[in-house]
């Protein structure tokens, strides 16, 4: 009887390409749904989301917590590598190998000992976090739903030199993630300055704005209380709203102008592409002109207070023409 091959033995090893001027690319699914913790402190409370026929549950283990939006930089690196390989006629694979230095430099991180340790911790969280979702799953003939359960990284290993330094990292991406990235219609390019965003809410909001705003001249807008629901965290809604107002005041998102509007007794965040920002010329987008359709959760994560989010038609709408927006500010150094 022949020995059954392991998952690794069934995959072709893909050596990471030099990143150089490689564009940052992200999965639209990861930009639109609350898959990650937005806090730097460990979150062990599950993220549970249900709206518009889509459900997802994200769980972590006490030792590591749920993967964070900063850990997702590894997935942005992987998505960028996959798309670049396809552009160059190279077959990508879920089995990838790179040096820690390459991943850290791509993500605009330092390369000191603490940065290497942080990367290892991120890989541990990406492997130990489990996701269960109906997203991109076909409905069963009897009307039932398929739920796909996975971790962002199936497994990873590190090659250690005799002196204790890392000589390379090998990882296997989840098939759900890899399949989504291979469909280039489900991938968007991020602003090159994305990695300079230091806050969890800022990063999450930029990704959401990029997903839904694209280059629509009239922009888009969300009711702030619905943004709070979409963020996937446990911060109090009034604190979240105050944070969003501060981001609009500072014009903190690269490539977009933000404005807080009040209409019908509600507070809205409107955003539109900032045409004066040269980096916008590098952005590409699929069609995002239909109304936003679903909800999510809050923003700064706390360790306690689990929350279920449900809904069917909560979302945003194309922004009405409004007075001249505030000037678009450049993005400062990291």
Distance in angstroms (rounded) separating the CA atoms of residues 31 and 75: 12
Tell me whether residue 179 is in a domain: yes
Tell me whether residue 151 is in a domain: yes
pLDDT digits (tens, 9 = 90+) for 305-329: 333 333 333 345 444 433 333 333 3
Tell me whether residue 326 is in a domain: no
302 pLDDT exceeds 80? no
Distance in angstroms (rounded) separating the CA atoms of residues 323 and 268: 15
Distance in angstroms (rounded) separating the CA atoms of residues 156 and 71: 14
Tell me whether residue 28 is in a domain: yes
Range of the domain at 304: 7-318
Tell me whether residue 331 is in a domain: no
Coil, helix or strand for 242? helix
Judge if pTM exceeds 0.85: no
183 pLDDT exceeds 60? yes
Work out whether strand 308-311 and strand 47-51 pair parallel, antiparallel, or are unpaired: parallel
Tell me whether residue 27 is in a domain: yes
Query: Are 237 and 245 in contact, with CB atoms under 8 Å apart?
Result: no
Band (pLDDT 50/70/90 cuts) for residue 3 is low
Q: 173 forms bridges with which residues in the sheet?
A: 153
> Sign (positive/negative) of CA torsion 100, 105, 109, 113?
positive
Q: 220 forms bridges with which residues in the sheet?
A: 271, 318
pLDDT value of residue 214: 64
**Domains held by the chain: number:** 1
Ranges of H-type helices in 46-112? 73-87, 100-106
Other beta carbons within 10 Å of 3: 6
pLDDT digits (tens, 9 = 90+) for 151-171: 999 999 999 888 878 889 999
**Per-residue pLDDT averaged across 79-86, rounded?**
96
Q: And the tokens for 176?
A: 């759900």
Q: Where are the beta strands (DSSP E) in the chain?
A: 14-15, 25-27, 47-51, 54-59, 95-98, 130-133, 148-150, 153-160, 166-173, 187-189, 220-223, 256-263, 266-273, 308-311, 316-318
- State the first-to-last Cα distance of the chain, in angstroms, to the nearest integer: 57
Distance from chain centroid for Cα 138: 23
Tell me whether residue 169 is in a domain: yes
Strand order in the sheet with 14-15: 14-15, 95-98, 166-173, 153-160
Distance in angstroms (rounded) separating the CA atoms of residues 265 and 66: 36
Coil, helix or strand for 105? helix
Average pLDDT, the chain: 81
Tell me whether residue 333 is in a domain: no
């Amino acid at each position: 009887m022949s020995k059954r091959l392991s998952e690794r033995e069934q995959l072709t090893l893909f050596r990471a390409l030099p990143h150089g001027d490689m564009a940052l690319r992200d999965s639209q699914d990861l930009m639109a749904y609350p898959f990650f913790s937005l806090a730097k402190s460990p979150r062990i409370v599950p993220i549970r989301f249900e709206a518009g026929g889509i459900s997802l549950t994200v769980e972590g283990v006490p030792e590591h917590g749920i993967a964070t939006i900063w850990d997702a930089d590894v997935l942005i690196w992987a998505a960028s590598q996959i798309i670049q390989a396809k552009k160059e006629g190279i077959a990508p694979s879920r089995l990838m190998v790179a040096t820690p230095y390459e991943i850290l430099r791509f993500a605009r991180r330092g390369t000191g000992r603490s940065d290497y340790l942080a990367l290892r911790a991120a890989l541990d969280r990406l492997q130990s976090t489990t996701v269960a979702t109906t997203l991109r799953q076909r409905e069963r003939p009897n009307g039932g739903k398929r739920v796909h359960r996975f971790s962002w990284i199936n497994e990873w290993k590190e090659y250690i030199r005799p002196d204790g330094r890392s000589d390379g990292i090998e990882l296997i991406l989840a098939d759900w993630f890899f399949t989504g990235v291979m469909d280039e219609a489900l991938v968007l390019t991020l602003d090159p300055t994305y990695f300079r965003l230091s806050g969890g809410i800022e990063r999450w909001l930029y990704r959401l704005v990029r997903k839904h705003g694209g280059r629509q001249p009239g922009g888009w807008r969300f009711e702030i209380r619905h943004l709070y629901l979409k963020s996937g965290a446990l911060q109090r809604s009034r604190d979240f709203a105050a944070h969003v107002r501060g981001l609009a005041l500072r014009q903190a998102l690269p490539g977009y102008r933000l404005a807080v509007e009040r209409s019908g007794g509600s507070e809205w965040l409107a955003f539109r592409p900032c045409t004066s920002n040269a980096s916008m010329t590098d952005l590409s987008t699929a069609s995002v002109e239909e109304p936003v359709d679903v909800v999510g959760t809050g923003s700064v994560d706390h360790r306690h207070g689990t929350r279920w989010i449900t809904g069917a038609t909560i979302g945003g709408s194309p922004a009405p023409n409004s007075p001249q927006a505030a000037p678009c500010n450049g993005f400062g150094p990291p």
